[in-house]
Amino acid sequence: MNWRRVIAAVCALSLIPLFSGEEGIRQAAGPAQVEVGSPPLVALTFDDGPRNKTTGALLDGLALREVPATFFLVGSRIAGSEELIRRMAAEGHQIGVHTYDHVIVTDLSREDFDLQVGKTRAQLIDILGEGEYWLRPPYGIVDQSVEQWCDCPLILWSVDPEDWKDKDVDRIVASVLEHVKDGDIILMHDIFQTSVEAALRIVDALLDRGYCFLTVEQLMAQRQGEPRRGEVYRRFPPENLE
Ligand code: NI
């Protein structure tokens, strides 16, 4: 058992099972070789996908490291990526909604808001079955109306390396490693090859620092308790927001 598997096993023991099935049982039964006490927790999140080529490579890398993430999908990009989405769910990742057309939700009427969320959710239900499918509003833009309309938690973020901007892997990695703290939600985009590369380097570096990766839902369960509809969440706990 190498050190990364040991840390993953400790995460699984000290928190909640990250991976179900035989794999999780085998890990949990492994010897506890390191004492990490209460490890720092973090949630890695990816917006704007799915995109078969880049998202597939990301899933490969996350699976190798046994690290779960959260994917907020754009509905209009789902067709043709059904297998990828089934794989996300099967490998323990959380899946949410990033609207159907990647729109600013505060510009929408109530009816259009319901359509943007509802159409995407209906696709996910078709592919994966019933589920909660929380919302990440594009650009993180929300207002009181949206908070009232939304029937689930609104998930924003606390660490944003702006990975879409210059696509400079070294800068993206350094930016996250400089700012990340226990309880943070990191925003990235799985539609860029550079972001996939950066994300996997970030995972390796944070595993080295003893971090445990959780889905947003798992992190909330550890730190905040019951999710509340229409509530905006940026990190868990909410304090220490920069
Ligand atoms: Ni987006």
What are the residue ranges spanned by the domains of the chain? 3-17+39-233
Give the mean model confidence (pLDDT) for residues 190-198: 98
Q: What percent of the chain has pLDDT over 90?
A: 81
pLDDT averaged over every residue in the chain: 89
Q: What is the mean pLDDT of residues 176-184?
A: 98
Residue 34 has pLDDT above 90, yes or no: no
Higher pLDDT, 6 or 116: 116
Element (H, E) at 205: helix 193-208
Catalytic residue among 48, 93, 163, 189: 189
Active site residue 47: yes
Q: 47 alpha carbon to ligand 1 midpoint, in Å?
A: 5
Q: Taking ligand 1, which is a single-atom ion, which protein residues have CB atoms under 5 Å away?
A: 47-48, 138
98-142: pLDDT as tens digits:
999 999 999 999 999 999 999 999 999 999 999 999 999 999 999
Contacts for 199 with CB less than 8 Å, ≥ 6 apart: 44, 46, 58, 61, 188, 190
pLDDT at 44 over 80: yes
Instruction: Find the catalytic residue in 47, 48, 163, 190.
Output: 47
**CATH class assigned to 3-17+39-233:** alpha beta
pLDDT of residue 24: 38
Which is more confidently placed, 200 or 37? Answer: 200
What is the pLDDT, as a whole number, of residue 155? 98
Model confidence at 10, pLDDT cuts 50, 70, 90, reads low
- Taking residues 49-76, report their average pLDDT: 98
pTM of the model: 0.87
User: At 187, which helix (H) or strand (E)?
Assistant: strand 184-189
Beta-bridge partner residues of 96: 72
CA of 23 to the centre of ligand 1 (A): 33
